[in-house]
Amino acid sequence: MADPQRIDADLAKAIESLGRAIEANPHKANLHQEQITPRPTSAKIIQLPLWPEPVRGAPNALLRSAFFAGIHSKKRKELGTRLKPDQPKQGVTIAAQEGIRISYAGDQLNQYDADVFFEALHRARHYPLETECIFTGYNFLKAIRRQDGPREYEDLNNSLRRLREGTVELEWKINGCHYIFTGSLISSYVREKNSKLYKVSFAKEIRDLFAPACWTQLEWEERMTLKGKPLAQWLHSFFCTHAGPFPLSTAYLHDKTGSARTVLKYFRRDLKEALATLEKKLGWKATWHDDFLTLNRSPSGSQARHLRNAKPAPKRLPKPKHTKLLPPGNLFSGSN
């Protein structure tokens, strides 16, 4: 459904333009009216998939990595290096699942930024990409379960700025297809300070992140019950991209969550607290075998169909060759 505020604005501009034409030359008013009437176009409209209202579409390549780290905002870092003052930053490699390569330069993104990004995509799915999506700050903050005070508006503005200013190089392969995305997750955003209206646009290339089998529908109410628990949110997003349970080592999760912990035993404690939250809030069950975690949950309808048609998976993955904790400087390495 089109945004009424956008329609009203476009209609007002058209009426104003028509009025000026009539005043200038009343006999050509009908001609001018024909010129401002939108004409059908044969150009292909590029648009995001129209997923249902209760879910949010999210790219698997980002959910299966440390791109939106499972950390609190106070733990953010500035990522990337600037070799010369007049040159842009060079990105650092973000830890990701095998088959995904991510390089990023900018302020580190976390689960709050993921909330903002997913909700902005959710609203933009009704519009052709590269056009403005318009919404009120109050309505947007309500959708991501935040208050509408000055601090919350500041947080929203800063997150949209990070999503616009950060530069991403993302490469992944699936089902014989090879995809590359380069740029910013948000092309532009404007906030009208008095009305608190926001205008956000996405590049048409963002559509590649939603190619077949490349994205997941996240249950929004589930995610919002985990608000304020970034590691639990990361685990929820990551495991929702996979249809069935499978074991993962603590070292693997430490790497892929983007944890700021430099001692594995402290991350293991954080992990168990996040798992307890998932069990309490969503009923997910964690089981351990040695230092390997398997997280059991109820699959979505589409995932259940996938499981019925899939070949039996091995009961246990082989142990990784290297489980030694990465030094602090390599927390964003993409090794698997």
In this prediction, residue 193 carries a pLDDT of 84
- In terms of C-beta density within 10 A (0-12 exposed, 13-18 middle, 19 or more buried), how is residue 219 classed? middle
**Please, how many CA atoms are within 13 Å of residue 187, restricted to the half-sphere of its CB?**
15
Identify the bridge partners of residue 180 per DSSP, sorted by sequence position. 171
- Tracing tokens 């205008």 back to the chain, one arrives at 199
In this prediction, residue 303 carries a pLDDT of 52
Identify the bridge partners of residue 59 per DSSP, sorted by sequence position. 215
List of the chain residues with pLDDT < 50: 1-2, 4-8, 11-12, 14-15, 18-19, 21-23, 26-39, 305, 307, 317-318, 320-336
Sequence-distant contacts of 45-48: CB under 8 A, at least 24 apart: 45/128, 46/128, 46/129, 46/130, 46/204, 46/207, 47/125, 47/127, 47/128, 47/129, 47/207, 48/121, 48/124, 48/125, 48/129, 48/206, 48/207, 48/210
In this prediction, residue 146 carries a pLDDT of 97
Q: What is the pLDDT of residues 273-324, one digit of tens each?
A: 999 999 999 999 999 999 999 999 876 555 554 545 555 555 554 454 444 4
Largest Cα separation within the chain, whole Å, is: 86
Gap between the terminal Cα atoms of the chain: 43
In this prediction, residue 7 carries a pLDDT of 44
Q: Contact 17/36 with Cβ under 8 angstroms?
A: yes
Domain ranges of the chain: 4-35, 55-327
Q: State how far the Cα of 262 lies from the Cα of 260, in Å rounded to an integer.
A: 6
